[in-house]
Structure 1
Amino acid sequence: MIYGYARVSTKKQDPGYQLDRLRKAGCDHIVREKKSGKDTKSRPEFLRLLASLQPGDTLLATVSDRVARDPLDLVLILREVESAGAQLRLLDEPYIDTTFDFADVIAYFRGWVARVQRLRILENTSNGRAMAKARGVKFGRKPKLSPRQRAQVMERKAKGEPYARIARSYGVSESTILRVRP
């Protein structure tokens, strides 16, 4: 069997490129997953795929960071594939192929590069958030009630008006009114 594995990290990302490449490579079965690649243990579909590999099977993915972002994880996955008697090939990184004697060394190096990239992404995201906060950018949802409306809600609550009536007048839920505090 030729298995394909396509992974994206978020629901907003599209695995289309990976799926197209895997189909064109002749995969008999393609497993898709929308999970972060930082931890192999948190990807149940991938773990099931690894456990199902039989001697002679081939596992295809497009690039190493779809399989693992950590170099040690990548080498351990290579070992698991090899111990099942199967092969791992990466379509866009042909130098990672378990039929090649130095595949684990190259995989470790490539995994290390992917890990550095991930850390750089996290650092850039953190720096971008800090700069945006410094400029006054607000994160999260926009408040359902303006400061003026919140003050009015406090007055109406103080007068004993039922929360349901207050909520209806502003078009919000009772729990929103309940959370309004001085």
Structure 2
Amino acid sequence: MKYGYARVSTEAQDLSAQVERLRAAGCERIFFEKKSGKDANRPQLRRLMRGLKPGDVVYAVVSDRVARDPFDLLSIMRTVTAAGAALRLLDEPFIDTTSEMSDLVLFLVGWAAKWQRRRILENTANGRARAMAMGVKFGRKPKLSMQQRREALARLAAGEARSDVASSLHVSGSTISRLQSEATHPSNALLEG
């Protein structure tokens, strides 16, 4: 039996190109999911691995669709071979678990994927640091302006009910509770200025 495995990291990404290629390769059944490759404990991948029998072949487009970490990739490969099945990658034809060199090749390809991911994370962190240095603000926009925060705290200090303050500012009571809690914390930066 020829099985296919397709994966993308997020719900917004499209699996169709991978699925089409796996069908063209003759895969009779395709398992797919939208989960990060960092986690080797993916439901559809586990389901595929549990169903393997001797002589089956698992196809994927490239190694990083199967796993991002070289050790996860080797573990998956060992699970496949322990079942008497094989793993083949369409864009990396040198990966074929029937070869004597498959452990080494899979480790090297997995390592390269991990190295690439590390570079992406470093580049993202560097870009974020540069943006912050230029004054770019990250995170959600505050629900209340600085003036509204001061007004809310003054009204609370004057004895007005938290729910009335929240209602008049069109925010939840928990927003006002957090504001009140933050105001009592000495390191609170929200109320400075």
2: CA distance between counterparts of 1:159 and 1:18? Answer: 63
CA RMSD of aligned residues (A): 1.7
Q: Does 1:105 align with 2:99?
A: no
| Distance across 1 between alignment mates of 2:133 and 2:76 | 42
Report whether the alignment pairs 1:13 with 2:13.
yes
| Cα shift readout 1:52-111 (whole Å, capped 9, x = no counterpart) | 211121111110011122223222322221111111111111111123332222211111
Quote the residue 2:153 is aligned against: 154
Aligned positions of 1:86-125 closer than 5 A = 86-125=85-124
Q: Which moved more, 1:84-93 or 1:24-33?
A: 24-33
Q: How is 1:1-182 mapped onto 2 (pairs within 5 angstroms)?
A: 1-40=1-40, 42-181=41-180, 182=183
Percent of aligned pairs sharing the same letter: 59
Please give the per-residue CA displacement for 1:113-164, whole angstroms capped at 9, x wherever unaligned.
1111011111111111111111111111110111011111111111222222
Change (3 A) 1:20 1:170: farther
Distance 1:155 1:126 in 2: 39
**CA distance in 2 between partners of 1:73 and 1:122 (Å):** 19
Task: Give the whole-Å Cα distance in 1 for the aligned partners of 2:169 and 2:27.
Answer: 55
Which amino acid is 1:107 matched to?
A: L
TM-score (norm 1): 0.90
* Other structure's SS at 1:180 match: helix
- For 1:104, give the aligned amino acid: D
Deviates more, 1:15-24 or 1:76-85: 15-24
TM-score by length of 2: 0.85
Cα distance in 2, alignment partners of residues 69 and 106 from structure 1: 14
TM-fit CA distance, 1:13: 2.6
CA distance in 2, matches of 1:35, 1:102: 29
Paired residue secondary structure (2:23)? helix
Instruction: State the AA in 2 paired with 1:28.
Output: E
Query: What amino acid does structure 2 have at the position aligned with 1:11?
Result: E
C-alpha deviation, 1:35, in angstroms = 2.3
Whichever residue aligns with residue 60 of structure 1, its letter is Y
- Letter of the aligned partner of 1:89 in structure 2? R
Unaligned runs of 5+ in 1: none
AA aligned to 2:80 is V
- Determine the C-alpha separation between the residues in 2 that align with 1:77 and 1:55: 15
Report the Cα distance in structure 2 between the residues aligned to 1:70 and 1:174, rounded to whole angstroms: 44
